């Protein structure tokens, strides 16, 4: 599935932050491609494992809220708790991102996913300071 998302991260300190993801995507349904808003993801606790000017590695616990329409949009219609490992190569306000996700989905199912994306970041204030930012991201998800 191809997707784009609006990501709103907020750094509380250099090592701790929070993030909200609002995905928009397309998935094929009965031979047609329907766009729509997917499930909202809340990451109230995102920890920095490695942070340099060019490379950032973080981990987060996320909660997927079934806000998308599972019959039409790229939403799942289910609650899920996911653990993420993010690796971002950063060049100014651009980032190449990879994400490994292990999730527990409502109903007892477990999933392993990977995604790769590119992001354009818009900072409010100093790039190196803790504060809010907005990221516009696009990429692909692969489930294992």
Higher-confidence residue of 75 and 8: namely: 8
pLDDT in tens, 78-133: 888 999 998 988 887 788 888 888 988 888 888 888 888 888 777 665 545 444 55
Instruction: Please give the torsion angle defined by the CA atoms of residues 48, 87, 121 and 3, in that order, rounded to the nearest 10 degrees.
Output: -130
Task: Give me the pLDDT at residue 60, please.
Answer: 92
pTM: 0.74
Question: What would the two tokens of residue 14 be?
Answer: 């250099």
* Exposure string for 60-82, b = 16+ CB within 10 A, e = fewer: bebebebbbeeeebbbbeeebeb
Residue 97: DSSP 8-state: E
pLDDT in tens, 1-42: 566 778 888 888 878 888 888 887 765 555 555 677 888 899
Percent of the chain predicted with pLDDT > 90: 10
The answer to whether 10 touches 18, Cβ cutoff 8 Å, is yes
Task: Give me the pLDDT at residue 96, please.
Answer: 85
* Among candidate residues 138, 123, 101, the one with its CA nearest the CA of residue 9: 123
Rounded-to-integer distance, Cα 40 and Cα 73, Å: 12
């Amino acid at each position: 599935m191809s997707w784009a998302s609006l990501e709103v991260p907020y750094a509380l300190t250099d090592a701790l932050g929070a993030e909200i993801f609002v995905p928009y995507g397309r998935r094929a349904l009965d031979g047609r491609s329907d766009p729509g808003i997917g499930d909202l993801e809340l990451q109230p606790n995102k920890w920095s494992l490695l942070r340099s000017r060019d490379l950032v590695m973080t981990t987060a616990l996320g909660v997927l809220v079934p806000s998308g329409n599972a019959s039409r949009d790229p939403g799942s219609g289910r609650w899920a708790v996911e653990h993420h490992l993010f690796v971002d190569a950063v060049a100014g306000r651009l980032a190449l991102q990879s994400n490994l996700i292990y999730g527990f989905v409502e109903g007892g199912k477990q999933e392993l996913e990977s995604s790769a994306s590119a992001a354009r970041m818009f900072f409010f204030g100093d790039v190196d300071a803790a504060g809010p930012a907005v990221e516009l991201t696009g990429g692909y998800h692969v489930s294992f």
